[in-house]
Structures are given as C-alpha cells and as structure tokens.
Amino acid sequence: MRFFSTNNSNNIVDLREAVLHSMPADKGLYMPCEIPTLKSSFFKSAANISLSEIAYEMAYPFLSKDFSKADIHEIIERSVTFPAPLVQVEKGIHSLELWHGPTLAFKDFGARFMAALMSRLVEQEDRELHILVATSGDTGGAVASGFLGVPNVKVTILFPQGKVSPLQEKQLTSLGQNIHAIEIDGTFDDCQAIVKRAFLDDELKAHSMMASANSINISRLIPQTFYYVHAYGQIEEKEHVQIAVPSGNFGNLTAGLLAKKMGLPISGFIAATNANTIVPQYIQTGKFNPRPSVQTISNAMDVGNPSNFPRMLLLYGGDHQAMCKDIQGFTLSDSLTKKCIQDVFEQSGYILDPHGAIAYRALKELLKKGESGIFLETAHPAKFLPVMKEVLGEIPVPKALSSLANKKAEKACFPADYEQVKEHLLNKA
C-alpha cells in the first residue's frame, strides 16, 4: 500500500516512510492511496471469527506489498493480544469495552500494532531507532508498554509535570529497560514543541534514527478499524447500527469511517465530545473553528484543534453535507457527564468512565426507533479515580493499576528548554 499527503496528493510514499516518519514534510497527514474494500460475506461472517482473524483480513491489504502472509500473522499475533467484548448495558445500548489491554485504554490497540510494525521495519537498519513522544495521558503509557523490550528500539516520553494523573505517570516511569521518561516543567504544548524541534535537529538525526509515535501516525489508525467490525459481529440487531465515539483528536472516529468505507454495513456514527465542541459545531454549521482547548473531566478529549479532521474531511471529498449523512454531533457538559455516570450505575450497575459516558448519553438522546447502538468505552474508569470517587465513591481498581503504586519510578526532570533536553538526549544515546 502506498500513502499520500492530505496537503498534496502527488506526495506519495511507501508504508515504511509513512510509518517511520509519521508526517509528510508538507505538514499534511498520510492517507492510503486507495481504501481497500472487503466482501460483504466477510462482514456477515464477523460473528463467527475471532478478533485476530478479523484483524488479519483487514490489515492484509495495507501490509501485503511489504510483508509476507506469515509476517502479517506475526504482527497481528504480537499486537492483538486482548479481547474487546461487547457488553449490553440496557436494551438496544451496548458498550464496546476497549480497555482490556495492558494500559487499560483503547490506545493499546494502536500503540501495540505500531510497535510490532516499526520493530519489523527497523530490523533491516543497522542503527537504533529512537522513538520520541509527547503525552498528556494515555498515549505515553500505551506506547511505552508496546515498545517495552523491543530490540534495537529506544523510547523517550516527554510529559508535563502535574498534568497527567499519578497512575498514568507511573505507567510511563516505572517500566525501565528501553523506556525513558522526561518530566517537563511546562504544558503538553511545550512537550510537543520540544519533540517537533528534535525531529528537525540535524545533530540528533545524525546520532540515531528518530521516529514519532504520535497519534497521527497512520499505523495507529489501521488496528482501530478491527474492533468496529468485531463489535458489529457481536451485536444481535445488525440492521440499523449507530456507533457513538467519544472523541478528542478524532483518530478513533476516523478509523471507524475507514471501516465503513471498507464495507462495514452500519448506519452511522455519533461524534461525541465534551466542552471542546469543534467537530459537532462543524457538523451543525459547516464551519471548522479550532480554538484553545478547555479543561474537562474527560481530559483525554480536551483538544481544541482535532488533528485528524483533515482526514475526515478528505474521506467525504470536503463535502459537508455528505459527512452529515454519516455523522451526527453530540456534546455533554461535565456536570451532565457526572449525572450520567451516576444514573447508569443506579439503573444497571454498569460503571462508565467519563469519556464513554458522553458517548452512552449520545446514544440515549439520538438513537431513533428501530436503531441499535454501540458506544466505545475508551478507558477503564479506575484510570480516573478522583472523578469516579466523587461521583460513585470507591470503585474496584484492577491489579494492573493498583500494583503500579509500589513500583519504583525513574524520570529525568527539565524546564521547558529545548537545549537542555537535547543535551540530555545526546548524552543518553
């Protein structure tokens, strides 16, 4: 498969270039040159085949030019290592639980697949691959876990001091081996600015081969198409399915749109956001107005300029009306999100996290008669303990999280100063 830049359709690269470099020099986003379609019999059979079998069929057209069938199987076996069960919350409304991976958020799907793919792509290189990533929450942990122990790869994660939860921080700082964490006395934007500058730095580039693991990497979207088909396989009422996606940078929803283009026979999507309402407003008005993000209790969706929007637009040929046929918008305030978590717990005993709760509520308000709904549960509620405690009191904490508390953390600390971080990177390498 070859990929082109959303900023210039003549800028075409192979899989290796798109995956190892994430972003074209023209600052566009890579998209597949043609979107493969699968037979309707494949989607009909989704109920009877496993998530890894679905994954193989869907990944194959993207990878078959660069890898053998055995290699593709191996990449899938290494990355799809946990289930994505569909759980009925009430009649007609189902939760697709995407938090059964090692870091308890859906980002494990993208990060593990990217890690498996990148580690194969660097096998032919004689230099070490250095992955740099800035994180404000779940991405860093998933990337760290995905690359842990991968030979010939080193990972450095930059995170803003005091702006990731204590458990999230432990997920970044306690792994050791080839994973290094740097705490920046600054904001997420400072971290991202340092990472971006590092990629343009000739001295660093001469030192090691550098790649980014940020969420715009196309290899993170491919594996996110798998679970949409798996969810469709598991739902009983297959006629008029709506899928609500709690969204921030809109990678998850873009993957859903890809799955639909590949043939997944669902009716449509709901773009569910918190107070950062840029995309729902675009759906409503046809105007895309990025602005500074607002802080909310669903912090993984606090994004003011959704980076995947150009991909969404491109999938509809820039046609606002066409996009509106497939996507409805929905937004929910923090106070109503808390109320929703409380109501659902009282009615059914199901514990929603603050992100999934918005998507649940979207289905509740927008599903029409005869439609059935799936919402994506993007993280385990225990990743957001302070809010959950406030709303529901104590909730069960999985061992993968509680055991982190006793682990030894290691991190380097720097001010938001590029030269100091660069010096550190050069000395460590």
Ligand X SMILES: *Cc1c(COP(=O)(O)O)cnc(C)c1O
Binding site for ligand X (CB under 6 A): 105, 107, 137-138, 215, 246-252, 300-301, 355, 378-379
Distance, CA of 114 to CA of 127 (rounded, Å)? 19
**What are residue 96's phi and psi, to 5 degrees?**
-95, 105
Closer Cβ to ligand X, 28 or 251, answer by number: 251
Closer Cβ to ligand X, 130 or 220, answer by number: 220
Q: How far is the CB of 304 from ligand X (least distance, A)?
A: 12
Closer Cβ to ligand X, 300 or 425, answer by number: 300
Q: How far is the CB of 422 from ligand X (least distance, A)?
A: 28
How is the chain split among helix, strand and coil, in percent rounded to 5?
Answer: 45, 20, 35
Closer Cβ to ligand X, 82 or 418, answer by number: 82
DSSP 322-344: HHHHHEEEEE--HHHHHHHHHHH
Closer Cβ to ligand X, 375 or 414, answer by number: 375
Measured in whole angstroms, the distance separating CA 294 from the mean position of its chain's CA atoms is 20
Helices 138-147, 166-173: axis angle to 10 degrees equals: 20
Sign of CA dihedral 58, 59, 65, 70: negative
Closer Cβ to ligand X, 181 or 210, answer by number: 181
Q: How far is the CB of 141 from ligand X (least distance, A)?
A: 9
Q: How far is the CB of 293 from ligand X (least distance, A)?
A: 12
Q: How far is the CB of 208 from ligand X (least distance, A)?
A: 28
Q: How far is the CB of 252 from ligand X (least distance, A)?
A: 4
Asked if 297 and 387 count as a contact pair (C-beta separation under 8 A), the reply is: yes
The burial class, CB within 10 Å (0-12 / 13-18 / 19+), for 285 is exposed
**What are residue 159's phi and psi, to 5 degrees?**
-135, 150
Asked if 258 and 304 count as a contact pair (C-beta separation under 8 A), the reply is: no
